[in-house]
A and B are shown apart, each in its own frame.
Chain A
């Protein structure tokens, strides 16, 4: 059962993730994008970084987030700059809101992604719908 008390909770900064050129190319191919030299970095790639922060929430007994009951509701990325190969990125997640809707919960996470100079690169905002026990 999702704990509404986690609203406002911030999770620790994740360990650095080094963005690899071939990983980006693989991700671009997997999203039907270009893979030729000079291809555009896939705009949804930061989901892979957000995932590291989200895994902290899933592992947190206080949160009570049962991932088998989760449906992805909304996703947004706000970019300060494009990612580039070689970036060393860390992320920090805050539980922006927890709302109840019928027997379900809607939880929104804001994950800020920083580069090695600690400058904000991207904010990933994810809303998950957690189905209730009897839904």
Chain B
């Protein structure tokens, strides 16, 4: 398990790739209650001018924090988590959209034993979450 004293700014603490499929979107719709059809119907997505069926922004936000939770185990907890949704993740009818997350220590708050972890979250080479920052309290 990570210890606060062993961390330093710039350190990559976790990374993971997530294969997002249409199944993932249906599962998230059910779990979250967000049944907006742009997240599962191609015809509706194209009617409103989207490039295709999109992953829920909140699904991307939800998965992006997972590498941090796995890294932390019981050593700390997320006390503040924020993102900007900068680009959509288009999920094809078959196959998968791979979302990649790299978690890096960006700031240390020695006084409060808190660490800011920034989540570089990309899809097809584009950043899909801007200013994705989680404060972790140790």
Contact = CB atoms under 8 A, between A and B. Distances in A.
A27 interface: yes
Interface string A21-40: 00100110111111000001
Contact of B82 (A27, A42, A51, A76): A76
A34 to B, nearest CB: 7
Contacts of A125: 82
* Most B CB within 10 A of own CB, among A26, A40, A78: A40
Contacts of B108: none
B93 interface: no
A74 interface: yes
A111 to B, nearest CB: 14
A73 interface: yes
A29 B66 contact: no
Contacts of B30: 26, 30
Interface range on chain A (Cβ under 8 Å from partner): 20 to 34
Interface range on chain B (Cβ under 8 Å from partner): 20 to 34
A117 interface: no
A120 B57 CA distance: 25
Interface in B40-87: 48, 57-59, 61-63, 65-66, 69-70, 77-85
B62 A31 contact: yes
A29 to B, nearest CB: 7
A42 B62 contact: yes
Contact of A30 (B48, B59, B65): B59
Contact of A27 (B24, B31, B81, B83): B31
Interface of A: 23, 26-27, 29-34, 40, 42-44, 47-48, 51, 68, 71-79, 82, 125
17 contacts: A23-B31, A26-B30, A27-B62, A29-B27, A30-B27, A30-B31, A30-B62, A31-B31, A31-B59, A33-B66, A40-B69, A48-B33, A74-B83, A75-B58, A75-B61, A75-B83, A77-B81
